[in-house]
Structure 1
Amino acid sequence: MNAVLKYALAALLGLGSLVAHAQTYPTKPVKVIVPNNPGGFADITARIIAAELTKSLGQNFLVENKAGAGATIGTLAAVQSPPDGYTLLAVFDSHATNPSLFKTLKYDTLKDLTPISLIVRGPSMLVVNAHVQAKSVAELIEMARQKPGSVKFAVVSPGSSARLYMELFKRMAKVEVKMVPYKGGSGAVVDLAGGQVDAMFVAIPTVTPYLQGGRLRGLAITSEKRSAMVPGIPTVSETLPGFKGEQWVGFFAPAKTPPEIIARLNAEMVKAVNQPEVKARFFKQSFETVGSSPAELDTWLGEQIAHWRSTIVEAGITLDK
C-alpha cells in the first residue's frame, strides 16, 4: 500500500471515529455553567434548555451557578474546563460588554470559547413615570434639552444594560440627564413607579404590571425593529437612527471542543427552541427564540462587542478595581 492510500485510509478511519464519538455523546452528565445568580434570565434560559437536552440526549444537563465579578468568574471556570463537551457555558448580554468594562480579563472572549447557539434575544423598554409629560422619545429628548439635568434616569450598576442604554441615549440625543444609581433593579422600578425618578431602560416583564396598572408608560423599545411582543410600541431608533440594543442568551463551550460535539449540541438546541411550548415560554418573557448556527453566534458576539465598546469608553465606565 503506497503512502497516499495509507493517509487516505487513516483520514477515513479518523472521520469514522469522530462521527461515532458524536453519535454516542454524551455518555455522562454535562455541566452547564451560568456565570450569573439563580433566578436571572440567563439562569432561567439555561434551565429550560438543559431540561430539553436532558430529554433528547438521555443524560442529565446540570446547571451550576458561578456568579461574581460581573459574570467573569463563571466564564473563566468554563474557559479552564476540559474541551470535551462536558462543560458548557450559558451567558447573558454582559458577555459582550465585559471585554470593554474589564481591562484585566483573564480570558479572550472571542478566542477562548467556541460558540454553539444564540438561544433567545429581546428588547428592553424605555419607560417613564405616568406623570412625566413626555409621551414619546422625541418629547423626552426635548424635555432634557430645555432643562439639562432635569430628567432623572434610574440605573442599577456601572455595567448594567440600564446604565449602558442610558449612556447611549445621552450620546445619540446629545442631552444631559441626571443619573440616579440603585443597588438593585426592583428598588429602581419601585421608585420609578412612585415618581422619585422619571425614566429607565428596563426588561419588559419587570415593568409589565406597572404598565398595565397605569403607573408607568412605555415610550419605546431598544431593538432595531418593532416587536409583536409589545404591539404598538415604537423603537428608539425611529427617533434616534442607529440606536439599538437587546438582551440575549447564548451557549458556548471551551475552545477546541470537538466540532462534531458542537454540531450535535447545536442541532439539539435548535430543535428545542423551535418547539411551540418552548417558544411560548420565552414569548411570555418578551423574548424571541433564535436557535442560530455557531457561526451566526460568533458574528453576533463580535458585532455586540464592537457596538458597545465606543459607548463604554466614551462614558469612562470600568469595572476594574
Structure 2
Amino acid sequence: MMHLLARHVLVAVTVAGAAASAASEPNPRASKPSYPSKPIRMLVGFSPGGATDVVARIIGKKLSETWNQQIVIDNRPGAGGLVAFEIAAKANPDGYTLLATSPSFAIQPSIAGKLPFDPVRDFAPITQASSAPYLLVLNPGVAAKSVKELIDLANANPGKLNYASGGIGSAQHLTAELFRIMAGINIVHVPYKGAVNIPDLIAGRVQMLFSGLPQALPHVQGGRLRAVAVTTPSRSSVVPDVPTVAEAGVPGFEVTVWYGILATGRTPGQIINKLNVEIVKVLQSADVRQQLTSLGLEPVGNAPGQFGTKIRAEISQWAQVVKRAGIRPE
C-alpha cells in the first residue's frame, strides 16, 4: 500500500514538474508584439529643410499619430545621400529603420566608384510618396529673368556663372548638368552639403540652383530668389506663371523629382506590406494631401513593386546622363 501511494505521489510530482517546465520554456508559436512596438528611425541623406526632409517629416508626423509610436527623423547629410543610404542598407531588417530618399538614390550607382551596398538587393521599396518639379531659381542680382536670357548671359560669360547643388552626385547636380549639356553653356558646379546652399544663393555667392519647391518657394514668394522655370513637362499648379524649361528655351528638357520610402533589404514581406498600406493611407488623408500640394508636391502612394520598377529604370536613365556629362566615379 505504501509503495502504491509513493508511486502515485511520484507521478503527480513528475506531471506537475513537466507542466512547470513547459510553462517556463518559450513557445515558438506565441504571438510577437504587433509591429511597430517601438520608435521607428527614418533616415534622410540631406540637411533639415530640404525637400526630402520636408516630405519625411510630414509623413512621419502623421504616421506617429496613427500608430502612437514615434517616427524619429535622422538627418545624415553627405556624399549626395550616400552616408544615409549605407546606414539603411546595413541596418537590422526589422522595419525599424527606414530611408526617405529622392532621385539621388538612383544616381549614386553611377557616381560612386564602388558602392558599399547593392541599390536593388539591399533595399526593400515601400512606396513613392510624391512627385514634383525642380524649380530653377536665380539670385535676383543675376541679369536674367528667363531661361533664354540666362543662356545668353552664360554664353557671354563662359565659366563665370556658378550653380549650387546638394553635393556631387545629388539630383540637383545631375539636373543642372543635363541643363548645361542641353543648353550648350559653360557653368561651374559648387557642391554643398545638403540644403545649406540656399543662404549662399540669396547672398549671391552662387548664382543659380535647381531647387526642390518646398525649399525655394518661400524665398521666391518673399522676393529673395527669382524663379525662371520648372523642370517637369507641364507647369506646376503652385507656380502657374513659371514656364517649363522646355517651353522657355531648352526643348526636350524634363526632370521629375520623386520622394519615396524604402526599408532595409530582407525586411519581412508582412512588415513591408503593412508599411505600404499605412503610408498610402497617410498620403490619401486630407491634411497630408493639403500640406504636400501646397508645396507643389503631388501625392502618389503606389505599390512596392511599382516603386521598385521606377527605381531600376531611373538607375539606368541617370547612368546615361552621368556618361554624357563626363562625370567620373569617385
Q: Is the structural similarity TM-score above 0.5?
A: yes
Q: Residue 187 of structure 2 corresponds to which residue in structure 1?
A: 177
* TM-fit CA distance, 1:221: 0.3
1:33 counterpart = 2:42: yes
Q: What residue identity is the alignment partner of 1:71?
A: G
* TM-fit CA distance, 1:149: 0.4
With structure 1 as the length reference, what TM-score do the two structures score?
0.79
Post-superposition CA distance 1:35-65 (Å, at most 9, x none): 4255243333223322322333344433334
Q: Which of the residues 209, 229, 235 maps onto 1:226?
A: 235
1:190 counterpart = 2:202: yes
Instruction: State how 1:152-171 maps to structure 2 within 5 Å.
Output: 152-156=161-165, 157-171=167-181
Post-superposition CA distance 1:287-312 (Å, at most 9, x none): 22211211221122123222222222
Instruction: State how 1:1-321 maps to structure 2 within 5 Å.
Output: 25-37=34-46, 39-40=48-49, 41-130=51-140, 132-145=142-155, 147=156, 149=158, 152-156=161-165, 157-179=167-189, 184-192=196-204, 198-214=207-223, 216-238=225-247, 239-318=249-328, 320=330
3-state SS, counterpart of residue 218 of structure 1? strand
Contact 1:29 1:62 in 2 (8 A): no
Q: What residue identity is the alignment partner of 2:164?
A: V
* TM-fit CA distance, 1:106: 0.9
3-state SS, counterpart of residue 52 of structure 1? helix
Pair 1:306–1:21, CA change in 2 (3 A): farther
Contact 1:153 1:197 in 2 (8 A): yes
With structure 2 as the length reference, what TM-score do the two structures score?
0.77
* TM-fit CA distance, 1:82: 3.1
Please identify runs of 4+ aligned residues in structure 1 that moved more than 6 A. none
Distance 1:81 1:215 in 2: 41
Distance 2:217 2:43 in 1: 26
3-state SS, counterpart of residue 70 of structure 1? helix
Pair 1:282–1:109, CA change in 2 (3 A): same
Contact 1:159 1:319 in 2 (8 A): no
Pair 1:127–1:263, CA change in 2 (3 A): same
3-state SS, counterpart of residue 80 of structure 2? coil
Distance 1:27 1:214 in 2: 44
Post-superposition CA distance 1:198-240 (Å, at most 9, x none): 4332233444354335454322101222111111211112233
Greater Cα shift, 198-207 or 168-177: 198-207
Distance 1:287 1:21 in 2: 40
CA RMSD of aligned residues (A): 3.0
Corresponding residue pairs, total: 296
Post-superposition CA distance 1:239-258 (Å, at most 9, x none): 33332224432111122222
Greater Cα shift, 133-142 or 243-252: 133-142
Post-superposition CA distance 1:247-284 (Å, at most 9, x none): 43211112222222222211111110111211222233
